[in-house]
Amino acid sequence: MKDSLKNWMLPLLVGVLLGSGSASGYFLYQQQGHDAHSQKLEQQIQLEQQKQLQQQQEFTADLANKTSQFEQLVAKLNDELKEQKESSDRELAKLQQKITSLQQSTQKLTVTKKKLDTRVVQLKTETKQQQHVISNSQALFTEKANLQGELTQIKSQITQLKGPLAKQKKACDEFKSGTSWNWVSQADCDKYNTMNKEVVALEQKSTLISNRLEQLEKLTK
């Protein structure tokens, strides 16, 4: 009985031991495969990380380069804009100076035109006055010449009348005295009065003409 039990358990124990050894070997093999895979995976991860890091560094360098180029371009554009603005400001300043100069010239021309217009009006007025004076002078000289001629005639008439007037007065006086032996009458007195009135009128007219000639002499000097 004991021998039969040993005989039964011995193969079982051997089987168990053999099974345990096989399992341990299997598990060991599996562990080694897993470690190799893990190492390979880790290497791949490291390579991927290095690749990504390199790409990131390249991207960063490229970005920095492009950023620098962009900043340089912006700086260049700013300089060009600044230069254009300064040039535009200079041109605008020159244009403003021209406008100011033209405005001043226009104001001066306006003032000059006003002065010229005023002078033209003055000259026209003076010309009219001179023409009026000339016309008046011509009229005055004409009047003066006519009056001088008329005065000469009047004086001549007075001179011609005074001789006969004196004789006629004498005859009238003799008639009035009543002692004259000459043939005298009232008709002599009437004739004397008529002649005397004519002479008085001529003398009055001569006086008026002489006064007017004195005025004309002053006006035509």
pLDDT tens-place string over residues 89-134 = 888 788 788 878 878 888 888 888 889 898 888 888 887 777 776 7
Question: DSSP 3-state assignment of 60?
Answer: helix
- Give me the mean pLDDT over the 183-203 stretch: 94
Residue-level pLDDT at 20: 57
Residue-level pLDDT at 213: 96
- Give me the mean pLDDT over the 152-166 stretch: 96
Q: Would the pTM of this model clear 0.85, i.e. be above it? A: no
Question: Is 80 exceeded by the pLDDT of residue 75?
Answer: yes
Residue-level pLDDT at 124: 87
The dihedrals phi and psi of 201, each to the nearest 5 degrees, come to -65, -40
pLDDT band at 16 (very low <50, low <70, confident <90, very high): low
Residue-level pLDDT at 15: 59
The answer to whether the CB of 151 falls within 8 A of the CB of 209 is: yes
Measured CA to CA, the distance from residue 173 to residue 89 in angstroms comes to 118
Q: Which two tokens stand for residue 150?
A: 């008329």
Provide the mean pLDDT of the chain.
Answer: 82
Residue-level pLDDT at 69: 83
- Nearest-5° angle of CA 122, CA 127, CA 128? 100
Question: Is 60 exceeded by the pLDDT of residue 158?
Answer: yes
Residue type, 92: L
- Give me the mean pLDDT over the 138-159 stretch: 95
Q: Which two tokens stand for residue 188?
A: 């002599």
Residue-level pLDDT at 52: 86
First to last CA, the chain: 196
The answer to whether the CB of 195 falls within 8 A of the CB of 165 is: yes
Contact residues for 195 (Cβ-Cβ < 8 A; gap 6+): 161, 164, 165, 168
Residue-level pLDDT at 219: 86
- Nearest-5° angle of CA 50, CA 54, CA 57? 135
For CA atoms 189, 191, 197, 200, the dihedral sign is negative
Residue-level pLDDT at 4: 55
Residue-level pLDDT at 86: 84
Measured CA to CA, the distance from residue 83 to residue 91 in angstroms comes to 12
pLDDT band at 221 (very low <50, low <70, confident <90, very high): confident
The answer to whether the CB of 220 falls within 8 A of the CB of 140 is: yes
Measured CA to CA, the distance from residue 108 to residue 101 in angstroms comes to 10
Distance of CA 213 to the CA centre of its chain: 61
CB atoms within 10 A of CB 172: 21
Residue-level pLDDT at 14: 53
The answer to whether the CB of 14 falls within 8 A of the CB of 6 is: no
